[in-house]
Structure 1
């Protein structure tokens, strides 16, 4: 943490690097996450999106500096592409998540009820969580995250491998989180999704931030660098060289 962090800056990375063996996953990455932003991380496979999410969330050992504002230090949640579900009911998955997060016992039931309603899962509260469809499991994962009332929500491709209807349901939930002022950072391969949801777009290439712009400016600027243009045209799918 640092007293230099501004009131609206929740998280900052400065000259961050991350290696996995011989692979340099991130290099010289610097950015700030401000309260209320919805940041979309885009880039080709292998560009560093998941690594950057892990670095922001503090899941990996880095070089450089990671600073978190005091109010966001214990109020961060990450939803993975394939969320883990306990071998218990939908309801128990919610209650245990709140217990593990340290939510007072007298608050857990009300929060869990609200979360079920937000996710459209109230009628499935007694169903085994692992018996839900992929889209329903992802909505439950978002419900668990929302119930913890995070300041920052990290999302790793939350609609990957879901059908169009399930994607629409997830996007609707995320849009409502954004409208309530939650700060979100999401990796996605879906450029349409980034356009619909994000307020800011960060394009990663070979472990570095190549472009960081407000969403509308990113998709309407015609003088981006050549590799970014290739990616936007769908001609830069893998980034392993």
Structure 2
């Protein structure tokens, strides 16, 4: 399921035009404040914008918002948590799957029984990824998903996303790490000041 973005912009950034093939990964680097997160939020249809986004041959403008949300998952740098314990953020029917994903991401199963306040930033990043993956999205929008992780945990996340890509999931991955962009991206672009993408 390929992603095609054409003339996507708002008053702060863009226009952006690019395509990512099914199972491909576009890695975007650049300094803080250049507009990388805004790009993801516009693709996710969370911020006002103009331009066209097509995924799997479907123009996003023709889909109701809930249908687009089922196809797409934005994992922000800081995810929201609304309940007291970690486990309350996961549906009971995903009990087996969440523990399998946690093990793959080097998280102990007992973590789900703990208060969310006790989870480190790195644990929360991986938990947010698990929460998103349980919905089986076909387009992943990742905003620095390994920014707070050690090298071993980073490798676990990269391996998990690679497996999802092998099954056809398409990815746009924001990172400050040029080496990571080279590892994970089929195409790596840099966000320049003023919100312009360049090779």
State the TM-score, normalizing by the size of structure 1: 0.68
Kindly state the Cα deviation for residue 47 of structure 1 after the two structures are TM-superposed: 2.5
Runs of at least 4 residues of structure 1 off by over 6 A? none
Q: Which of 48, 56, 63 in structure 1 is aligned with 2:50?
A: 63
Pick from 98, 122, 129 the counterpart of residue 112 of structure 1: 98
Counterparts of 1:77 and 1:113 in 2: how far apart (Å)? Answer: 20
* 2:158 is the alignment partner of 1:171: yes
Residue 204 of structure 1: CA displacement? 2.1
Moved more, 127-136 or 160-169: 160-169
- d(CA) in 2 for partners of 1:172, 1:191: 17
Q: Is the 8 A contact 1:79 1:154 kept in 2?
A: yes
Q: Alpha-carbon deviation of 1:87?
A: 3.0
Tell me, yes or no, if the aligned pair for 2:5 and 2:19 is still in contact at 8 Å.
yes
Report the secondary structure of 1:178's partner residue: helix
Contact 1:36 1:184 in 2 (8 A): yes
Which ranges of structure 2 fall in alignment gaps of 5 or more residues?
A: none
SS across alignment from 2:158? helix
Residue matched to 1:93: 89
The alpha-carbon deviation at position 49 of structure 1 amounts to 1.1
- Report matched runs for 1:58-207 at 5 Å: 58-69=45-56, 70=58, 73=68, 74-95=70-91, 107-119=93-105, 120-205=107-192, 206-207=194-195
Change (3 A) 1:87 1:131: farther
- Asked whether the 8 Å contact 1:15–1:29 carries over to 2, the reply is yes
**Aligned residue for 2:28?**
41
Contact 1:47–1:204 (CA under 8 A) maintained in structure 2: yes
Q: Secondary structure at the match of 1:136?
A: helix
Between stretches 44-53 and 144-153, larger displacement belongs to 44-53
TM-score in terms of structure 2 length: 0.81
CA distance in 2, matches of 1:154, 1:164: 21
Give the Å deviation of 1:153. Answer: 0.9
Aligned residue pairs total 188
For residues 112 and 162 of structure 1, do their structure 2 counterparts lie closer, same or farther at Cα, with a shift above 3 Å needed? closer
1:18 paired to 2:10: yes
Report the secondary structure of 1:46's partner residue. coil
Q: Let me know the Cα RMSD of the aligned residues.
A: 2.5
